Amino acid sequence: MTAAPYLIALALLEQGGQRAMPLQGKSLPEPVPADGDPGDVGRQQALELLVRVWQRSEGGALRRAAGEHSLLLLELPIEALQETLPAIKARWIATGDNMALLQQLRELAGGLWTLGLERREPLCFRRLQ
């Protein structure tokens, strides 16, 4: 992982029979600790992404495309953001292969999390292995 990684929040959704993967990201001053999570920066990126997804709902009904893995955060080097991630995104939009997508993101990312909400609990990150 580079000294200044990038944190990406992404949503896997379907709208009108088409897959989409909106993204929201921010550079980090340092990598997320191996045993840590994206914390407040991750929550902020997820919130900004979800506002964009909410706005998108004006174009029609939205559906999560990957169940509990439909909202992800990943830490990756800036180079991957510019080169590798667009190709991964295009493959997923074309195929809808969620398992292949998750495997490719695991290989690419320094950290990969889902963001969940349990009843009467705060938002939490779950690291995907």
Position of tokens 């953001």? 81
pLDDT of residue 67: 94
* Cα–Cα distance measured from residue 9 to residue 55, given in angstroms and rounded to the nearest whole number: 16
Can you give the residue ranges of every domain in the chain? 6-127
Tens of pLDDT along the chain (129 residues)?
A: 445 799 999 999 999 999 999 999 999 998 998 888 899 999 999 999 999 999 999 999 999 999 999 999 999 998 888 889 999 999 999 999 999 999 999 999 989 999 888 888 888 899 997
pLDDT of residue 73: 96
pLDDT of residue 3: 58
Taking the whole predicted model, whether its pTM rises above 0.95 is answered as: no
CB count in 10 Å sphere of residue 45: 21
